[in-house]
Structure 1
Amino acid sequence: MMLAENPTALGRIRQRLRVLAALIIRETSARFGRSWGGYIWAIAEPTGGIVLLSVAFSLITHVPPRGTSFMYFYASGFVPFMMYNSIANVTMHAIRTNKGLLTYPVVGPLDTVISRATLEMMTHFVVALIIFPSIAWYDGVRTELNPGLLVTAFVLAFALGTGVGTLNAVLIGFFPTWQNIWGVLTRPLFIVSGILFDFDTLPTYLRDILWYNPVAHVIAEARYGLYGLERGEFVSLPYAFGIAMALFLVGAFLIRQNESHLLQQ
């Protein structure tokens, strides 16, 4: 009702949506170009990682941590992790690489961040739609999905990646070496986020420690959804979404407060 009574507010929302749509189209063209190479690589990269993990661990143990398929198990962790990680990385550099666009009055720094995050989410969602049915067909996986949990996991990956990227976009604007420090600090994330193991099989004390890693909640939620399970006790959506929202709000506030400085770097 308030929007209907306030055409200015409605007009601003429409303008923001048009700007975001234009930026997403531009980012799509810049990333994938006019050839199929970019699209093929978007599928080949996670597929290659899944195959390598599956082959390596099948030589160590004959039974995957859950289910009967090594590829399906590792894909259930690798794909959502890649979604989060890609969103965090591309949004971190969104402002710095789009300074030319930010000279236009209608384009704001947060528009570049959100458009990049949205494109990454859509790309990895399409990749997931291709990879999981393909693995299930190839390995003869018989499982019922829990679509609600799977969608929640992807939304959480989007929110968390956007929050991390938004805050980091400010930090690298003031401290350019932060991107190198961040890369070193987050290298163990691949191991401690649950890609290689099942949280439900861990000792309680270890599971309690890993619980504080919000990315682990993304992977656990996706895995429950892909194996048709109910949400386990490990996942806390208020905690994970709370971390994501706090990071985004702090980052967005700092961007607005320091916009002129960030555009000069």
Structure 2
Amino acid sequence: MTTAVKMDTAPTRPAPLQGPPLQPRFVAVRSIVALMLREMASTYGNSPGGYLWAILQPVGMLLLLSVAFSLLVRAPALGTSFILFYATGFLPFDMYGDIAGKIAGALNYSRALLSYPRVSWIDTILARLLLNFLTLLMVFCIVITGILLTDDTHTTIHMVPVIQGLVMSALLGLGVGLCNGVLGGLFPVWSMIWSILSRPLFLASGVFFLYESLPRFVQDILWWNPLIHVTGLVRRGFYSTYDGTYISMTYGYGVALVLILLGLIFMRAHYKRVLER
């Protein structure tokens, strides 16, 4: 007795085509862009006014400084416009401080997303650096353009030293932020210590004065502050008569790169411990 075996003759569907795996560089770029969009939505999208506040805050500070100092002195140290003089000092300093603070808190801000294998700690750092640098650069351009349109300053801008100064400011903020991110994560008391130590920087970075107007012994001390080279570079681009012979791009960029290198080394070694705290 033979048993017939019934064969399934239904046609088999071909396996779906799978594209090549994403290249690591493309994955990193996609992660960085996603992190930037997330922060844009959470930082500026949920607050009334959004990006408008990023412009109004420095404008309000500059107006306050201009009115206050115009009552004390007859003319600014350079040019005839108080608000332009203080803008060329305050805006680069504000870029440094804002980027340093954002980078220091990058790991905690994206702590939940770092559990995904495609999001790395360096992605969170780069996303915050790019977003905040571009935002502050936009604020710088808008504020300076507004000043030049409303105040008859007869200013001829030389872009090279201005860009050099702003890039130096951003790199210093990145280096300080990386180091503070590690130290503050491992030793929480460090954040309070740094807050106290860094308060004199606002007065010692040339926002209100020119380096050359200080006594010699004060110049010898303040020269070691890289931020005074930042403000000098930016002002060199706005005032054609200002030489700023003390400015050293080698020193300013050198300090920034050393801090970035140290910050990356220690962040790579200890970022897991920082996230666990």
Using structure 2 for the length normalisation, give the TM-score. Answer: 0.88
Residue in structure 1 matched with residue 232 of structure 2 by the alignment: 220
Measure the CA separation in 2 of the matches of 1:146 and 1:205. 31
Cα shift at 1:114:
2.0
- Please give the alpha-carbon distance, in whole angstroms, between the structure 2 residues aligned to 1:167 and 1:262: 12
Candidates 47, 72, 90, aligned match of 1:78 = 90
Aligned to 2:81: 69
Q: 1:71-220 to 2 correspondence within 5 Å?
A: 71-220=83-232
Q: Please list every run of 5 or more consecutive structure 2 residues that lacks an aligned counterpart in the other structure.
A: 1-21
Equivalent residue number for residue 263 of structure 1: 275
Are the equivalent residues in 2 in contact too, given 1:88–1:161 (CA < 8 A)? Answer: yes
CA distance in 1, matches of 2:104, 2:74: 40
Say whether the 8 Å CA contact 1:84–1:160 is kept in structure 2. yes
Per-residue deviation, residues 57-82 of structure 1 (Å, max 9, x unmatched): 10001111110000000011011111
SS in 2 for 1:64: coil
Deviation at 1:130, TM superposition (A): 1.0
Q: How many residues align?
A: 256
Deviation sequence 1:119-151 (CA, Å, 0-9, x none)? 111111111111112112222111111101111
- Considering fraction of residues, name the structure with more helix: 1
Q: Which residue of 2 aligns with 1:242?
A: 254
Give the percent of matched residue pairs that are identical in Structure 1 and Structure 2.
40
| Alpha-carbon shift at residue 229 of structure 1 (Å) | 5.5
Equivalent AA in structure 1 for residue 54 of structure 2: A
Q: Distance in 2 between matches of 1:159 and 1:219?
A: 14
Residue equivalent to 1:7: none
Tell which deviates more after alignment, 211-220 or 32-41. Answer: 32-41
**What is the alpha-carbon distance in structure 2 between the residues aligned to residue 20 and residue 226 of structure 1?**
34
Q: 1:160 to 1:229 in 2, by over 3 A?
A: farther
Q: 1:14 to 1:40 in 2, by over 3 A?
A: same
The answer on whether the counterparts of 2:235 and 2:242 sit within 8 Å (CA) in structure 1 is no
Q: Would the alpha carbon gap of residues 142 and 92 (structure 1) be closer, same or farther in structure 2, given more than 3 Å must change?
A: same
Q: Counterpart amino acid of 2:76?
A: P
Question: What is the rounded CA distance, in whole Å, between the counterparts of 1:214 and 1:123 in structure 2?
Answer: 23
State the match for 1:47 in structure 2. 59
Most deviating of 238-247 and 157-166:
238-247
CA contact (8 A) 2:95 2:169 kept: yes
C-alpha distance in 2, partners of 1:80/1:68?
20
How far has the Cα of 1:44 moved from its partner?
Answer: 0.8
Secondary structure, in 3 states, of the residue corresponding to 1:13? helix
